[in-house]
Structure 1
Amino acid sequence: MTVIDFTAFIGRLATSSGETILPMFRTSLAIDNKSTPGHEFDPVTEADRAAEAVMRRMIKETFPQHGIVGEEFGSENQDAEYVWVLDPIDGTKSFIAGFPIWGTLIALLHRGTPVYGMMHQPFIGERFSGDSQSATYRGPSGARNLAVRRCALLQDATTYTTSPLLMNDADRAAYGRIESQVRLSRYGGDCYSYCMLAAGNLDLVIETELKPYDVAALIPIVTGAGGVITTWDGQPAQHGGRIIAAGDPRIHEAAMKILNG
């Protein structure tokens, strides 16, 4: 079975999760904190849980032999040939604040490698998808192929991170060295930052402490658009951790040297 065989089903997953989430966006939802005392606030809502439950049910009904890894309900059969990696709302903090800078992440792994990814933002009506060979956008402005932009020098680059406050002291200092050299740095974005990189609107995304479900769907989108995404030490990104994505390999190399001292 090829990736093409799965694309229509992935579209249905995105539609169903969006229909589950949207009635709860910008409403007075109860918010639970998943983190332990003394750690960073990690919110979860009924929208997160309900959307993942819908997608899990559809996957189990259609592909019962497949594995699933999800943010809210853990892992099942994760050693299967095909594994779905789900983040029902990446950017829950923006979601609970009423900002539409969040998305549903759906990744398909084949023997451990992400072969297809989608970021769906149902409020805006945007879908970014990729299969490592190409990446596409569909939304209010139509449909088009995605392509990163070339940027040879850090001083010409625009960089994003969700927040330096999410980094430990050493990583924050390393990121600060990048920030002091680039033309523009901005905070926020979560999954949207990687999609904007794939769309050619920014040049560098640097994050830490990501989980597999935070990044797996974004890897085929970035690489399909011609970009590079690895860990800070140049390893494959699908296991999470400290992640760097770049539109131009020259920026990727220059930033890695600075991040690694």
Structure 2
Amino acid sequence: MNSFWEEVLVFCQTLTNTIGQQLMKDFGQIEASRKSDGSLVTQADRWADQEIQQAIAQQFPDHGILTEETEHILPPQEFCWVVDPIDGTTNFTRGLPIWGISLGLLYRGIPVFGFVHFPPIQQTYHGYWFADSGLTGPSGAYLNGKPIQTSPDEPSLNHIFNLCARSTDVFQNPFPCKVRMIGVSSYSSALVACGASLGGVEATPKIWDIAAVWVIVQGAGGAFIPLEPQPVFPLQVGEDYGKRSFPSLVVSRQALVEQFLPLVQFIGDRVF
């Protein structure tokens, strides 16, 4: 099985480097259109989506694919890739250098491997989280090939917590950390995984926003908490995930859930 994980890692490294080099040529130089859900899309998103799908089909013909731009229904294969060709399209179109290519690998509907590459800042995160899947292999989370861990610190006004654009109502109560708004769901969670921030909340992420970093955060020692009663995983074969959001809290360790959850729990109860 270790040879399989080595193949998966090398595949992701090679593919995202190639895709990222081409996307950098379009970075800040391309027009976007608005999709029905209000998010932006460009021809670069669609190009990258197709290139990634073709590469997966060639390298792993027995694997399924779920992508932001085209394939929204979970296929029946045991292994399935969840693809966000450009996480942070608004940043990408406006010339802001935080956006990435996100690849998560599901096994029977549960993420077990995550890989996110941020071309403008040359940061690449990957991780493994097998839990009770029955799979074996590497463990942990990594930034540019080096192991990372979440922060052991207690919250203070000298520590960072990340918000999304739809979660600013947290300011209705005193908040125990400095707040930052990154604008890219995967990078917000990656900052928790590497210890730069203590937590983050996302009000309306789709499955391709969270599948990869769900693994990376937990592989680094953090906790990924759904803000809805039902669990996120396993995903269900045949279900359409194109319009479903997964409001989520990410924290650097389980012990902080008790402190942060009451401040953001209302987000899961809202209808967007």
In structure 2, what is the equivalent of residue 145 of structure 1? 147
Q: Which of 22, 40, 48 matches 1:20?
A: 22
The letter for the 1-side match of 2:10 is A
Alpha-carbon deviation of 1:117? Answer: 0.6
Whether contact under 8 Å (1:3, 1:115) holds in the other structure is no
Q: Matches of 1:67 and 1:153 in 2, distance apart?
A: 41
8 Å contact from structure 1 (residues 3, 131) kept in 2 = no
Post-superposition offset of 1:155 = 5.9
**How high is the TM-score relative to the length of structure 2?**
0.82
TM-score of the pair, normalised by structure 1: 0.85
Q: Residue by residue, what CA displacement relative to the aligned partner does 1:32-90 show, whole Å, maximum 9, x if unpaired?
A: 11036xxxx41111111111111100111122221100001124662210000000111
Cα deviations across residues 185-210 of structure 1 (Å, max 9, x unaligned)?
Answer: 11124121111111111101101111
Query: Residues 56 and 63 (structure 1 numbering): CA distance in 2 closer, same or farther, change over 3 Å?
Result: same
Larger strand proportion, structure 1 or 2? 1
Aligned residue in 2 for 1:213: 208
**For 1:191-230, what aligned pairs fall within 5 Å after superposition?**
191-230=186-225
1:188 counterpart = 2:182: yes
Are residue 244 (structure 1) and residue 249 (structure 2) matched? yes
Distance 1:157 1:127, change over 3 A: same
Matching residue of 1:10: 12
Q: Could you say what secondary structure the match of 1:250 adopts?
A: helix
Q: Is the 2:99–2:120 contact (alpha carbons within 8 Å) kept by the matching residues of 1? A: no
Q: What is the rounded CA distance, in whole Å, between the counterparts of 1:137 and 1:237 in structure 2?
A: 25
Query: In structure 2, how many angstroms separate the alpha carbons of the residues matched to 1:144 and 1:63?
Result: 26
What RMSD over aligned residues (CA atoms) do the two structures have, in Å?
2.2
| Correspondences of 1:37-76 after superposition (within 5 Å) | 41-75=38-72
Cα distance in 1 for residues equivalent to 2:258 and 2:47: 41
Percentage of identical aligned residues: 28
Contact residue 155 and residue 198 of structure 2 kept, 8 A:
no
Q: Please, which of 249, 259, 267 is the counterpart of residue 254 of structure 1?
A: 259
What is the alpha-carbon distance in structure 2 between the residues aligned to residue 260 and residue 189 of structure 1? 20
Aligned length: 244
Unaligned runs of 5+ in 1: none
CA gap 1:251/1:156 in 2 versus in 1, 3 angstroms? farther
Alignment of 1:124-143 (within 5 A): 124-132=121-129, 133-138=139-144, 143=145
- Deviations, residues 135-186 of structure 1 (Å, cap 9, x unaligned): 1111xxxx421111013346664211121xx35xxxx54x3356x2223011
Matched residue type, 1:226: G
For residue 123 of structure 1, what is the aligned residue in structure 2? 120
Q: 1:196 to 1:260 in 2, by over 3 A?
A: closer
- Partner Cα distance (1:254, 1:102) in 2: 30
